[in-house]
Chain A
C-alpha cells in the first residue's frame, strides 16, 4: 500500500467510525418510540410552540428535583401535573373558577383556623393517576414530607421552614400545622405559573435516590401521558388518556385534542414560517414587528386583542428601578423628577412600536386588575398633586392612551380601536405627562443645580448613573430610550447592557435597572405574590443576596404596616383590595421605582385547524403557552373540521 492509499484509507475508516458512533449516540438516546405522522390528523392534534431552548436532558421528567435539565413547559407541567388550586392570570373559565381561582385537586377553598397556624384541605374524589392508582391525601402528605426532608427538591426550603406537621385525617382530607401564622400558605399549592405539584407516592416511595431519578415515563395526574419525544430535546408528544375524566382538568371539561405536540427552540423567523405552513397552532411570543406582519398576511391568525396592539399583557410590570441603597436615589423628589422627564409616547413607540399597555401605578394593567385598581383609582390619579417645591402640579394624563392610538392609526388603520374603553384596555388608563419644568423644580428643591445642560448633585458632582438593561428585546429598547431621554434633559444616564442582570439585581449591584419588581396573580386582586417580599425585614446590606422582587431595597414603616395588615386577612377578604389601594397611594407618594408598562407578550394562535382560543373578548385563560394554566385552553377549543 502506498502512502496516498494509506492516508485515504485511514481517513475513510475514521470518518465511518465517527458517523457510526454518531448514529449510535442518537439511537441510545431515543427513549420514546417515534410516532408515525399519519397518526396525527390535524383535527385531533394541536401543535404548540414552547419557548424553552434545547432541552439538555430530554429524558428527564422529574419536576421534583431542582435543575435536572429536563423540560418544564414542554407539556410536562401543563398536561401531566396537578396540585390543589390554580389561579389564572386572566378571568378563568366561567363556572369552573371563582375570582380566577380553580379548585383543582382540592374540593373547595383552603380552610384556616383563626390565627392562620393550621390549614385543612378537602380533596376531590374519583381522581386517578395514569397507571390506575387512586389519588388520595397520602400523595399530598408524601409530597410535603419528602420535600421537607430532602435538600435539592424545589419546595424543600418552603416546607422545612413553614410546615411543622402534615397529616391525612382521612383519605380525602389533609391537615397542615404551620410553624408560624401564615394566611398565604395555600399559595404554595396555588399555581400562577407553577406550584408545589403533587407527587405519586406509589412511584417515588420505591426510589432510592430521588435526586437522580429521571421519572421516565412520568405517571400523570393530568389528562395526557407521554407518547414520544425527541432525543435531541426539541419536541414532545402527549396523548390523551382513555380515562381523562378521572382528572381534575377532565372534570372542568373534556380536553379536545387527542394529541398535543410541544415544539421548542424555534427562532422567531421559523415560528412565523411554521405557523404560515400550518405546522404550529399556538406561538408563545413573537417580536412586535413579526406579529404585525403575520396578522396582516394571514387572516386566520389572531392575537389577544382583535386589532392593534394584539399582545397579551402579562401580569408583570416593567419599571425603572432605583437602587435605594445608592445615595443618588434616596430623595423622592429626585425619583419623581426622573419620572416626569420621561415621555410615555416615546417609550411606547421605542419599545413596542406603540403596542404597550401603560400603567402609572404599581399594579400591572392586566387580568382583573383594571377592574379592581386602575378603574377605581382613576379619579384619584387625575386629581393627584405633586409639590415641586415651587408649586403644585397635577402630573397625570388620562389621554396618553388615546394619543398613542392616534399616533399608530396612520400605519395600522382600522385595526386600532377608537372606542375609549377599548383604548384604555389596550393602551392603558394613562401615564404621567412629560413635564420638564416640574422635573427641574423638583431637582432644584432637592438641592441640585444646573451647569449648562448638566444637572449637578448637591455635593457638586455631575448627576450621572448607569441604566442596566437586558441584552435584547423590548425591555432593552425601553431602557435605551429612557437613558436617552434623561440624557437629553441634563442627567448623564448611560444604558448598560448586562448579561447577568438577574444576579446583579439580587445583590443590589446596579444604579438604575429596567426590569420588573412587580408580578401579581393577575386574575385575583391579592398583591401578596410580590408585596410580601417588600417587607423591610428582608432588606439586606449592599452586596448581599436578597429575596426576589424588592430589587430597589425600598424600606418604609408604612409599607411594612400594609404588608402586615394583608398577612392578617384571608386571601379572598375584600379588605385586600383596600390595602392594595393603600399600597398604590404610598407608592405614588414615594415613587420608589417608576412603573411603566405591562410586559406585553405577542402570543398568537391560528384558527386554521382549531378555534376557540382565549382573547380580550373572551379572556378565560392566558394564551402564553408556557404557563401551566394554559391547560384549560384545551377544554375550550374545538377543531375547525370534524
Chain B
C-alpha cells in the first residue's frame, strides 16, 4: 500500500507541474500575441463613429490604464499567479469588468452537457457493437454495421452537421436548428425547460455521435479480434462457459482497458468545446467563447478557458493513472 501512495504522490506532482507549465505557456503566448485588446475595443468604437484623433488618443490612454496592459510583462505574470491562488482570473477584457470565470461558467454547463452525453453515447455504441463485431466476425448485421461505421467516420464533421441541418431543419423541419432552448420557456427545474434543452440538443448530439462512434467501433473490434485468439478464451469455450459470460466477462472486459484510458482523455478534452458544432447549431458553449476571446485579444478569458481545460485534461490523466491499477489487476503500482 505504501508503494501505491508513493505512486499517487509522484503522479500528483506531475499533475501540478503540467498545470503550472500549461497555464504559464498560455499566459506568455496570449500576452506576446500581436492582438492588443485596447486596439480591438478602440477599433470597434472608432470604426463606426466620428471621433477626432485627439479623442482617440485620450481614449487609448484611459483604456490602457483600465486594463492594466501598460504594466511590465513579468509584473503581470506574478500578479496573475497571485490572483489565481485566490481563485480570481481577473476581469474579462471582452466584457469588462465582468470576471472572466463568470463567462466560462456560463458556457461550461452547455459544453459539458452536450459533449459528455454525446461522448458517452458514442463510447457505449461504438464499443458495444465493436466488441460484438470482433467476437462474432461472421455475423451479417455486425458486418453491415461495420460498413456504416467506416463509411461515416471519414466524412468531415461539418458535412454531416450540414446534412442534418438541411434534412431536419428544412426538408422535414421537425427539430430546432438553433439555440440551447426555445424562446417560449423559462429556464429552471421544470419539464418544459428540460424537454426544450433535450430537444435542442438532439441535432448537435446526433451529429457528434454519427461522426464519433466509428472510431470507437473500429478500435474495439480490432482489440477484441486479438483477445478472442487468446488461450484463455479458447479454454473457456472448450470448458462450456456460457457465451455471454465469455463475451462480457472475459473478452470485452479485457479489451476495454485501453478504451477506458482513451475515454478519460476524450472527456478531459471536452472542456475546450466543439467550435463547429456550436457555430452550425448556434449552440452555447466553450469553443466559440475561446475563439471570441482570442479574436478580441482577451487574454484573461483565454487564460480562464485554458486553465479549466488544462486542469481538466491533467486531472483526467491523473485519475486514469490512479484507476488503472484498480481496473486492471495486471497493472501494479510498483
Contact = CB atoms under 8 A, between A and B. Distances in A.
B47 A548 contact: yes
A69 B96 contact: yes
B282 A34 contact: no
A193 B284 CA distance: 28
Contacts of A65: 96
A530 to B, nearest CB: 9
Nearest to B91: A212
A209 B8 CA distance: 49
Contacts of A396: none
Interface of B: 34-36, 39-41, 43-60, 62-63, 65-66, 92-98, 103, 105-106, 108-110, 112-113, 116, 162, 165-166, 169-170, 173, 177-180, 182-189, 193-194, 197, 279-280, 282, 284, 288-289, 292, 295, 323, 326
B98 A57 contact: yes
Nearest to A19: B113
Contacts of B62: 151-152, 156-157
Contacts of B65: 151
Contacts of B49: 154, 188, 192-195
A502 B39 contact: yes
A33 B186 CA distance: 6
Given A56-B95, A151-B65, A23 B189 contact: yes
A265 B103 CA distance: 17
Dominant secondary structure of chain B at its interface with chain A: helix
Contact of B187 (A26, A156, A538): A26
A36 B98 CA distance: 30
A152 B110 contact: no
Given A232-B180, A500-B34, A67 B58 contact: no
Interface in A9-55: 15, 18-19, 21-23, 25-27, 29-30, 33-38, 53-54
B98 A266 contact: no
Contact of B106 (A29, A53, A274): A29
B98 A69 contact: yes
B94 A56 contact: yes
17 contacts: A7-B323, A23-B188, A37-B183, A54-B292, A56-B292, A66-B63, A69-B98, A154-B49, A157-B54, A192-B50, A237-B183, A265-B282, A267-B282, A274-B177, A503-B40, A532-B50, A547-B53
Contacts of A7: 323
Contacts of B279: 267
Contact of A548 (B40, B56, B292): B56
A469 B47 CA distance: 18
A188 B292 CA distance: 29
Nearest to A191: B49
A529 interface: yes
Contacts of B53: 533, 538, 546-547
B36 A69 contact: no
B169 A273 contact: yes
B280 A267 contact: yes
A160 interface: yes
B61 to A, nearest CB: 8
Given A60-B98, A235-B179, A269-B165, A161 B184 contact: no
Nearest to B97: A212
Q: Which of A193, A232, A269, A502 has the most CB of B within 10 A?
A: A232
B183 A235 contact: yes
A332 interface: no
A234 B284 contact: yes
Nearest to A316: B47
A161 B41 contact: no
Given A160-B55, A195-B49, 10 more contacts: A23-B193, A35-B183, A35-B184, A36-B184, A266-B178, A270-B169, A273-B166, A502-B43, A503-B43, A506-B43
Contacts of B96: 65-69, 211
A511 interface: no
